[in-house]
Amino acid sequence: MIKPIKIDSHYKPSEKLLQGRSILITGAGDGIGKELAISAAMHGAEPILLGRTQAKLEQVYDLIEGQTGIQPIICPLDLEELNEDRADELANSLSSELNGKLDGLVHNAGLLGQRTPIQNYSAKTWNSVMQVNINACFILSKALIPLMSASPDASMIFTSSGVGRTGKAFWGAYSVSKFAVEGLAQLLSEELSETTSIRVNTVNPGITRTSMRAAAAPAENPESIKPPADIMYGYLYLLGPDSKDMTGQSIDL
């Protein structure tokens, strides 16, 4: 049963909220992930930028270095190609760079796939969307849980959607993958709450001005919807110590 809750949109993160925290963000080259990487660094975090387009990650690196002096770690990786071996390699290399500890993991990367009835849905697209939106979250979480367990206060965030909580016509694999995200987050939050300090929650960003939204609703005026900056309060709250006791929640921003 999913009962979404809200975070106070007036939440004011302290300037040093994420000081000393290393936070891996997938899909950090664009949209919400890009904004979050910059925002986290502005609050003291060391971001790890994972994404499939190196040039975009380098641009985010330059922005962060220019604004904060922090030099993020860049991980160019196509999540469609992710398997357990590649994830273990990533975990090993991060372990040496981060002294064995990771404080945050934001599963943000996403693929929209087709907006079409199931009868017309391509199985190839279905598999790609499921691989990026849910399988990669499972594989990456599994590989990084040991590093996160070494943190005294770790936060894992999954990215859901309105159509991951109520099925809607023509959203195909995207909708189904987001339901799966909710399930994975629920069971992980239970498993990890007993033995680690890792909390696990899902976030539905709501309609937000990004390339994905433009592809999903091409007739919509982008100026009529909120930019990613307007929802950073929720991510910062969940990544920092103020949400220490919150786990297993589905959050609407």
Among 208, 243, 247, 250, binds ligand NDP (CB under 6 A): 208
Contact predicate 213/220, CB 8 Å: yes
Among 73, 207, 229, 246, binds ligand NDP (CB under 6 A): 207
Helix axes 172-195, 123-130, angle to 10 degrees: 20
Q: How far is CA 131 from the centre of its chain?
A: 15
Three-state DSSP class for residue 220: coil
Among 22, 39, 108, 186, binds ligand NDP (CB under 6 A): 108
Give the number of residues in contact with ligand NDP, rule: CB under 6 A.
28
Q: How far is CA 250 from CA 34, 87, 190, in A?
A: 22, 26, 14
Sketch the per residue contact string, 61 through 100, with ligand NDP: x for CB under 6 A, - otherwise. -----------------xxx--------------------
Query: Which stretch of DSSP H or E encloses residue 91?
Result: helix 84-97
Binding of ligand NDP at residue 165 (CB under 6 A)?
A: no
Verify whether residue 174 is a known catalytic residue.
yes
CB count, 10 Å around CB of 40?
Answer: 31
Least separation in angstroms between residue 217's CB and ligand NDP is 8
CA dist., res. 130 & res. 8, Å (int): 32
Binding of ligand NDP at residue 243 (CB under 6 A)?
A: no
Contact predicate 148/102, CB 8 Å: yes
Nearer to ligand NDP, 151 or 249 (CB): 249
Q: Which of 61, 174, 233, 237 is catalytic?
A: 174
Give the residues lining the site for ligand NDP (CB under 6 A).
27, 29-33, 51-53, 56, 78-80, 108-111, 132, 159, 161, 204-205, 207-208, 210-213
Catalytic sites, residue numbers: 174
